[in-house]
Structure 1
Amino acid sequence: MERTVGRADDGVLIASGMLVLGLLWLVVTGGAVPAGIFWPLVIGGVGVVTIWVQVDERVTPDRNRKAGPWQRFTRGGGAMSIVRLLGGLALVVAGVSWILATQVGFAELPGVLGASGVLIAGLLIVLAPWLHQQRSRIRRADADRLRAEARADMAAHLHDSVLQTLALIQRQASDPTTVAALARRQERELRTWLYGDVSRAESLRAALQEIVTDIESRFVVDVELVCVGDTPVDDSIEALGQAVREAVTNAAKHSGASRIDVYAEVEDGRVEVFVRDRGQGFDPDDVPEGRMGVRESIRARMDRYGGTATIRSEPGNGTEVRLEIGG
């Protein structure tokens, strides 16, 4: 999955641009800058911003959201990316040419532009090997990051499914019927996951209800669910649900509480989920290094998908897990 890093709102960017334009106009009217180069500076500045936007990693489109015409024009990839790049270059060339024309005259402009073009071409030839090396390095870094995230997701999934089932089988070793049922169930889940046939719930509420039903069928515990609002399930919401499942499973296995409360709230694209129990609690700072439940299946998973996980617990005072994503 390709995640979207938070970026400034378009309205904020436009307001900032108007402010800069006003300050530049004040400088020009004050005599610090010749009035004849005001509009060339504006045109060239717009071109520079357009080009820099192309290399800003925050413009990566969110594929889980439907983009309107304005979003496709300003943030879309593919052909629109090339159009923005060429348009920015054209604006920069137009601004620079206008400034040169005001300084050397339009009659000398072709010669100046030709000399500038030769200089730029020479610089590109000299820098081409370095640029290629940097591009290859960035691609390798991206590939390494994707592989690391894939390994982390796989490890978290195996912990949440296979290792949890093996722990249950050990506890139920004296009941062959239960052991066989657990093994068959895990085999089906693992085959489904390996061959990519996993079906996700249509909404957050449905996903949480599935978690509650599953936990209550595997443990002697009541799970009370309250969900205020709802949202469709995309990759980030699915990761949130997996973290919720791990938090509820941990509470059912280790807290000793007879009831677990799950409260979810959806507001303005932000999703918060609280998992609370009044069990024996624990010290989050004393979690052993080899225990992946809290570190990988909850905290690291939320980090990978742009969310946060906060765990508050004290021995004897229960545990509260707060998960947040979006917004």
Structure 2
Amino acid sequence: MSNATPVPYGTDPARAATGPYPTYRRPRSGRVISGVAGGLAVHLGVDVFYVRLAFIVASFLSGLGVMAYAGLWMFSKASDEVVLPERTHQLSRPVYLLLAVVGGLGFFMSVTLVSGVPGAVLVPLLVAGIGAVLAWQAYDRGLESGRSYVSIIGGAALVLAGVVVTIFFADSSGGFAAALIAVVLTLAGVAALGVPLIIRLWDSLAEERAAKAASEERAEIASRLHDSVLQTLALIQKRSDDPAEVSRLARGQERELRQWLFDAEEKIHQTVFAAVETACGEVEDLFGIRIAPVTVGEDLDLSEETQAVVLAAREAMVNAAKHAGVEKLDVYAEILAGELSIFVRDRGAGFDPADIPEDRHGIRDSIEGRMERIGGTARIRSTLGEGTEVTVSYRLPVS
């Protein structure tokens, strides 16, 4: 019978055997107090019973088990993705809680014996520890519920009471030692409540940033799809009676998608004005309209932000070619005074921006939304019967 750990399908066994341990996380389900032992069991690949037993035994060794447990709890994160495997030793939660109490008594006794401090002095510290546990459990649950706030307030009150009573006992001896103990205990109480909260808030901020980055990435992909695939499909539908034209559009779309998916690094090395001219040529090919681009200023290498400006201007060209009813567009791009601006002007039908239907995303997403995401601006001026001018601008970073 083999004791080898199963390797997921498609994973190199040699690499799996020598790879690093996964990031330590505490499970939210199946835990007794905070999931520290469960997370460590999953992390090390051992039965959680032995990990919990090790913490209890270590609690009798000058309180090392309790201190290690508290440190892992304070500086680790709970996750729903961590799942405890089936245990060989099935014990109920009340039994584990009883064992945890035994470990706490072991911590209390060992510290008393080693330090020589009377037990009456350590009792307030035990109360403060219980308060810290209540507050930390509330941090794990999240700060959205009223129950969490009650637990935090109650835990803070117990910590404060424990610290004050301990300082009172220490102050009875007087002298510098008593003052030093008072300062240390006060800082320890503040750290016990504040450090885990700061860590949890920092993790929440990091998660929000990651979610925002993912949302912006999805919005950028949606804009790309609207600018290219959806518009090409609409043109193919309109010109379905012309096989040659349909084939040309399909090949052009395939080329554009291939460049976007596989030639991203190559695009970055283009220049801004070259990208503007490329965009003008693409719109000319798609719609058979004449575009005469004019560029002014010192050209720059294309970055992700300036490429977004060019793509927003390209969408303005596409809208004009489709809806303005003209045969020529004027495109003017300038890089002056640390700002990139592109103007797209037609003398066609014009429109009222307020009358744009909600299901049309060309202006809202591909122009205004894209410029907003990079910190730029988009201005649209249009008069019925006289034409439209779209201006997209972006303040270049100081190098």
Report what 1:199 is aligned to: 266
Over 3 Å counting, the alpha-carbon distance change for 1:159 and 1:120 in structure 2 is: same
Q: Partner amino acid for 2:319? A: N
CA contact (8 A) 1:260 1:277 kept: yes
Over 3 Å counting, the alpha-carbon distance change for 1:186 and 1:125 in structure 2 is: same
Report what 1:228 is aligned to: 296
Over 3 Å counting, the alpha-carbon distance change for 1:271 and 1:117 in structure 2 is: farther
Structure number with greater Rg is 2
Q: Give 1:139 deviation, angstroms.
A: 1.7
Report what 2:222 is aligned to: 155
Following the alignment from structure 2 to structure 1, what is the Cα–Cα distance between the partners of residues 276 and 366? 16
Larger CA deviation: 131-140 vs 110-119: 110-119
Q: Does 1:187 align with 2:259?
A: no
Report what 1:318 is aligned to: 387
Q: Partner amino acid for 1:322? A: T
Q: Which has the higher contact order (CA 8 A, sep 6+)?
A: 1
Q: Give 1:142 deviation, angstroms.
A: 1.0
What stretches of structure 1 move > 2 A for 4+ residues in a row?
A: 108-122, 187-199
Report what 1:56 is aligned to: none
Over 3 Å counting, the alpha-carbon distance change for 1:121 and 1:174 in structure 2 is: same
Q: Does 1:177 align with 2:244?
A: yes
Q: Partner amino acid for 2:270? A: E
Q: Give 1:189 deviation, angstroms.
A: 2.5
Q: Does 1:165 align with 2:235?
A: no
Q: Partner amino acid for 1:204? A: V
Q: Partner amino acid for 1:203? A: T
Q: Does 1:129 align with 2:201?
A: no
Report what 1:146 is aligned to: 213
3-state SS in 2 of match to 1:143? helix
Q: Partner amino acid for 2:234? A: A
3-state SS in 1 of match to 2:216? helix
1:208 to 257, 260, 276: 276
Over 3 Å counting, the alpha-carbon distance change for 1:324 and 1:117 in structure 2 is: farther
Following the alignment from structure 1 to structure 2, what is the Cα–Cα distance between the partners of residues 109 and 298? 69
Tell me the alpha carbon deviations over residues 286-324 of structure 1, each in whole angstroms, 9 at most, x when there is no partner.
111111110000000000011000111122120010111
Q: TM-score w.r.t. structure 2 length?
A: 0.52
**Residues paired across the two proteins, number:** 220
Over 3 Å counting, the alpha-carbon distance change for 1:127 and 1:247 in structure 2 is: same
Q: Does 1:242 align with 2:311?
A: yes
Q: Partner amino acid for 1:130? A: L
Tell me the alpha carbon deviations over residues 235-268 of structure 1, each in whole angstroms, 9 at most, x when there is no partner.
1000001001100111111101121111111123
Following the alignment from structure 2 to structure 1, what is the Cα–Cα distance between the partners of residues 320 and 180? 71
Over 3 Å counting, the alpha-carbon distance change for 1:185 and 1:111 in structure 2 is: farther
Q: Give 1:127 deviation, angstroms.
A: 1.1
Report what 1:262 is aligned to: 331
Q: Give 1:217 deviation, angstroms.
A: 1.8
Q: TM-score w.r.t. structure 1 length?
A: 0.62
Following the alignment from structure 2 to structure 1, what is the Cα–Cα distance between the partners of residues 322 and 315? 10
CA contact (8 A) 1:192 1:198 kept: no
3-state SS in 1 of match to 2:266? coil
Q: Does 1:275 align with 2:355?
A: no
Q: Partner amino acid for 2:309? A: L
Q: Partner amino acid for 2:389? A: E
Identity %: 43
3-state SS in 2 of match to 1:199? helix
* Structure 1: segments with no counterpart, 5+ residues: 1-107
Tell me the alpha carbon deviations over residues 97-139 of structure 1, each in whole angstroms, 9 at most, x when there is no partner.
xxxxxxxxxxx99998886565334312211222122112112
Over 3 Å counting, the alpha-carbon distance change for 1:265 and 1:113 in structure 2 is: farther
CA contact (8 A) 2:227 2:366 kept: yes
* Structure 2: segments with no counterpart, 5+ residues: 1-174
CA contact (8 A) 2:249 2:286 kept: no
Following the alignment from structure 1 to structure 2, what is the Cα–Cα distance between the partners of residues 242 and 136? 35
CA contact (8 A) 2:275 2:310 kept: yes
